[in-house]
């Protein structure tokens, strides 16, 4: 079975691990060449903006976020050395990150440090790029293309509402086809991602799905009152 994770990028990033594999590109997971080219063009535009404060060292997107992001702190401490080889196999677990700079980026793509966000208030406060409007018409199409290509048994989505809203515009979400969205802060999400990765490594996703039976789980809504969004 194939499982697909889509989670939000992180403010803190780690670019210390060099790339030592043949990295993935959008053409590997977007079958529409025109859409893949659009994604690459928008990335270039955002990352060439001085407000993006782009770094010089390339690493894999998985390492960029998981080694430093708050949402990934628990899995980094407990599972990094077991999880990364599983992600590197790229045949059972596919991981993508929603990103203010990259739009959506595969875990095994090359990436650099940058500062850009889908949250307008954070962008104003930090003096960085606010990129949600630039990605507005592209990301739902990209997510649909990815979900169609991999046709995963289950999709797990994590992030604040500024990030998950793009997935809520996909056909997969509209028909609630084996997809779960966990919406909240990075600190809150970290425990649920930990539970998911534990279940993946123990090959016991049924337990995770039973623990979180609803298709939409929000930090701001009591689990006992959920019935889906």
What is the helix (H) or strand (E) element at residue 139, kind and residue range?
helix 139-150
Residue 60: which residues within 8 A CB-CB, separation 6 or more? 17, 19, 21, 23, 107, 108, 109, 110, 111
The model's pTM is 0.94
The sign of the dihedral angle between the CA atoms of 87, 185, 206, 201 is positive
Could you please report the per-residue DSSP string of 107-132?
TTBEE----EES-HHHHHHHT-EE-H
Domain assignments of the chain as residue spans, ordered by start: 3-193
pLDDT at 127: 95
**Cα 60–chain centre separation:** 13
Please give the angle made by the CA atoms of 100, 13 and 78, to the nearest 5 degrees: 120
User: What distance, in Å, lies between the first and last C-alpha atoms of the chain?
Assistant: 26
pLDDT at 223: 44
Backbone angles phi, psi at 219, to 5 degrees: -60, -25
Query: Which three-class secondary structure state does DSSP give residue 95?
Result: strand
Token pair in block for residue 91? 């045949």
Query: 185 near 160, Cβ under 8 Å?
Result: yes
Residue 160: which residues within 8 A CB-CB, separation 6 or more? 8, 119, 183, 184, 185, 186
Q: Which residues of the chain have pLDDT under 50?
A: 222-229
pLDDT at 221: 77
pLDDT at 73: 98
């Amino acid at each position: 079975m194939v499982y697909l994770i889509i989670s939000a990028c992180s403010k803190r990033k780690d670019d210390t691990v060099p790339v030592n594999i043949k990295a993935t590109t959008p053409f590997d997971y977007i079958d529409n060449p025109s859409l893949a080219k659009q994604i690459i063009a928008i990335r270039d535009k955002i990352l060439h903006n001085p407000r993006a404060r782009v770094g010089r060292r390339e690493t894999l997107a998985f390492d960029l976020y998981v080694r430093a992001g708050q949402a990934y702190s628990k899995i980094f401490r407990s599972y990094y050395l077991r999880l990364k080889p599983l992600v590197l196999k790229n045949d059972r677990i596919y991981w993508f990150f929603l990103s203010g700079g990259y739009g959506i980026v595969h875990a095994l793509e090359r990436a650099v440090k940058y500062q850009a966000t889908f949250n307008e208030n954070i962008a104003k406060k930090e003096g960085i790029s606010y990129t949600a409007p630039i990605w507005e018409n592209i990301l739902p199409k990209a997510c649909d293309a990815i979900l169609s290509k991999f046709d995963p048994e289950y999709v797990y989505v994590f992030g604040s509402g500024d990030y998950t809203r793009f997935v809520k515009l996909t056909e997969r979400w509209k028909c609630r086809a084996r997809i779960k969205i966990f919406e909240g802060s990075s600190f809150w999400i970290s425990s649920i991602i930990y539970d998911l990765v534990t279940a993946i490594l123990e090959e016991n996703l049924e337990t995770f799905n039973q623990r979180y039976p609803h298709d939409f789980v929000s930090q701001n809504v009591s689990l006992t009152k959920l019935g889906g969004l």
